Amino acid sequence: MLKNYIKFAFRNFSRSKNYALINIIGLAIGICACIFIALWVQNEITYDKNHENYDHIYRVLTKHYYGSQQSWGTGSPPAVGPAMKTTFPEVLNSCRLQNGTHSASVKYGNKLFKEELQMADASIFEVFTLPLIAGSYEKAFHNNHVTIISQEIAHKYFENENPIGKTLLIDNEKELEVIGILQDIPENSSIKFDFFAPLEILNDIYSPNNTKTWFNCSFNTYVILQPGTDHIDFREKTRTFITDNYPESDTEPYVYPLSKQHMYLYGYRGLVIIIAVIGGLILMIACINFINLSTSFAMKRAREVGLRKLVGAKRIQLINQFFVESILITLISTILGLALAEIFSSQFVSLTNSKIEIFSRNNLIYLSILPLAAILIGSLAGFYPAIVLSSFKPVTTLKQSTHRFGGRSILRKVLVTLQFVIAIILLVCTFVIINQSNFMLTKDLGYNKEHLVYVPLQGFIKDNPEIYRKALEENTNIQNITFLGRNPTEIWTNGSGWEWEEKPEDLDPFVTYQGVDTNYLETFQIDMLHGNFYDENSDATAQIVINESFAKVISDDNPVGITLHHEDDTFQIAGVTKNFHFKSAHHKVGAIAMYLNTNNDFKIVSFRYAYMRISAENMQETLKFIKHTTHSLTPDYPYELKFLEADVEKLYLSEVQTSKLITSFAFLAVFISCLGLLGLSTLITQQRIKEIGIRKVLGSTISQIVALLTSQFVKWVLIANLIAWPVSYYIMESWLRNFPYKITLSIWYFIFSGLTALIIAFGTISLNTIRAANRNPVESLRYE
């Protein structure tokens, strides 16, 4: 019997190829999109679960107080981790990582490259699950001249050689022995690196006590707590831990679960929810299409049902036939959806910057659910026509037209309207997210990022920056040169403990530090608010320049001349700059202190970069000159030049990717909606073909007939706008609250989205209505 049902189903499909094709393609695209989104969401929610101690690892954050207000820092002082391990029995182990990586030249034989070194304690291999495919990390616990590298780095330097025991030369100064090769770290892990180096190396690079200080919160600290430890109680226990060791600070440690780090601390939860909801909505649109078309097409078969009942078909047989046809379409769509997912997987990986494999072993359990989901969707789509049509009396179905059965379905109107409600909401969200991303990318940073290039200082030019400056100044297209300790988009050095006269006791500002030279403001074109950048008549090394945010913390008036104390150092405020962004626009501009890097007593970070403002004219020749000059002074180091503008754009990479992702899925949703609308308008036009012929005979023009046929669809889209606008406003208003700097939700976003949906819908419907209106009425009426 099943074989006969399937045969009859394929016969029906061949008779109505357009209907079957639209149904299968629409549902297949929806399933394909849903597969992509489901795998991406699964990848995000399983972040860091590759680590065996996943449920017991905590990150040590810091809480800072600004009077009655408080803020959070993701970093912590390097002294915290070891002290916690020795003080609290709940702490089984700890490890510290430098915030960010250390850029260095790496040489082996004739191979010389620039690499990013992750400085960390050797205990990182005990806290986190980072298996080796060769070697051992044991030697790292008692030797500061070792390294562990990834398979990619091993192949890059050693090709087919065994790297274990080989020595790499770092910055032409320090030799590190390769003691292990890392197994590939999963893409969805917060701890990812290619080049491990012992944290103690930082003491050689910066200062002997760099890894022992209590005030420099530019390290990431992780601890493993005893199973069963309540981390909330443990937080209370450690509240005064930093101030007990460093009384000048008003900073509290705050242990935060690794299990919540990616979703909550890094803020991906909102994005994951948005994308998951979009996936569900796209599948809903595809299912609505399928149910709508299946129902409408089934109503067209009312006479067929009547004839079959007259020749003896039982009701259960008719019900089974509709169910088999519906389930068969969903199964074919599912297979096609899987094929589309595999075909377009590389594009999706590129779009999301992820490493998702459709048919990987981890995904098989999720993919096995698809056939069950297909059967469920098919059953739902087949239920209504099967029950309703099989209940009709044969005489009724043969006497009355199909228009009476399916032409004015309330269910159809509701479903089509719901489709466009979803599509318009997605369009509004798309336009708002794109504009917010563009706003952040083009926002005034407080300095001019254009035509600013930089070169890392290495070897001779690091030890003799002024000689390098003079060599570069020979080219008149290089307008300004300044040396910095940190890249303006990657300033991690920060801390508390600043004192001044009349400072409130409950105030302990968290301040970022940047080592600069006297050309900094001119090169970056930052404006002064008060005072001078540095007073030439005073001892420059005892001066400090702060930004507007720091100035407001210190005094409501002009703070120039006020004396600041930090540990054993004393500074006088020489000037105040206008606020400029030294982090992304995801964060409000915080307090920053700029000190001359010639002050060796307060040299947190030595000069590491040379920044140059170059003329837009003859840019290629200027870049060649910089390369030649740099290489002539440092022939044993790899040359690297970057544009600051590119670094700024990287800060908003997630927004750009999010906008691309949501844009793709939003227009996919509109496409699926229009595909269903095309099928539905075809069926309705066919039902009214004789009416159209009669109207043309009675004198109706083509434009009047087109208006008649499209009016009901346009009405549904207009109603959808009225429902979608307040919903999308609420969603986007909630989303924009996460940004300190944001666009205003203009009415034009909603109008433009509504018009876009209306124009696309009208264009889709017109494909059928214009053709029907142009048809010769004789063809429509000749069978009457």
SS (H, E, C) 604-668: CCCCCEEEEEECCCCHHHHHHHHHHHHHHHCCCCCCCCEEHHHHHHHHCHHHHHHHHHHHHHHHH
Residue 611 and residue 484 in contact, taking contact as beta carbons nearer than 8 Å: yes
Residue 249's SS3 state is: coil
Q: Residue 65's pLDDT is what?
A: 63
CB-side exposure of 314: number of CA atoms within 13 Å? 3
Element (H, E) at 672: helix 653-687
Residue 680, C-beta contacts closer than 8 angstroms, at least 6 positions apart = 292, 293, 296, 412, 416
The per-residue pLDDT for range 215-235, each reduced to its tens digit, is 777 789 999 999 989 988 888
CB-count burial class (<10 Å; 0-12, 13-18, 19+) for 600? exposed
Per-residue tokens: 665: 């899925």
Element (H, E) at 456: strand 452-456
Per-residue tokens: 551: 């100035």
**In whole angstroms, what is the distance from residue 720 CA to residue 739 CA?**
29
Residue 382 and residue 288 in contact, taking contact as beta carbons nearer than 8 Å: no
**In whole angstroms, what is the distance from residue 53 CA to residue 81 CA?**
17
Q: What is this structure's pTM?
A: 0.79
Residue 164 and residue 135 in contact, taking contact as beta carbons nearer than 8 Å: yes
- Measured in whole angstroms, how far is the alpha carbon of residue 731 from the centre of its chain? 18
Q: Residue 66's pLDDT is what?
A: 57
The beta strand positions in 183-249, using DSSP E, are 195-198, 219-225
The list of the chain residues with pLDDT below 70 reads 1-2, 5, 8-9, 12-13, 65-71, 203-210, 248-250, 296-306, 308-313, 315, 362, 384-386, 388-409, 492-495, 535-541, 598-605, 776-784
240-245-248 Cα angle (round to 5): 85
Cα end-to-end distance, the chain, whole Å: 38
The per-residue pLDDT for range 544-574, each reduced to its tens digit, is 899 999 999 888 889 998 988 877 788 889 9
Q: Residue 706's pLDDT is what?
A: 76
**In whole angstroms, what is the distance from residue 683 CA to residue 677 CA?**
10
Q: Residue 472's pLDDT is what?
A: 94
Other beta carbons less than 10 A from residue 393's beta carbon: 10
Q: Residue 660's pLDDT is what?
A: 84
At residue 613, what are phi and psi to the nearest 5 degrees? Answer: -95, 120
Per-residue tokens: 598: 């010639």
Q: Residue 88's pLDDT is what?
A: 92
**DSSP string for residues in 369-398:** THHHHHHHHHHHHHHHHHHHHHTS-HHHHH
At residue 168, what are phi and psi to the nearest 5 degrees? Answer: -110, 140
**In whole angstroms, what is the distance from residue 631 CA to residue 345 CA?**
42
Residue of 411, 385, 397, 381 lying closest to 319 (CA atoms): 385
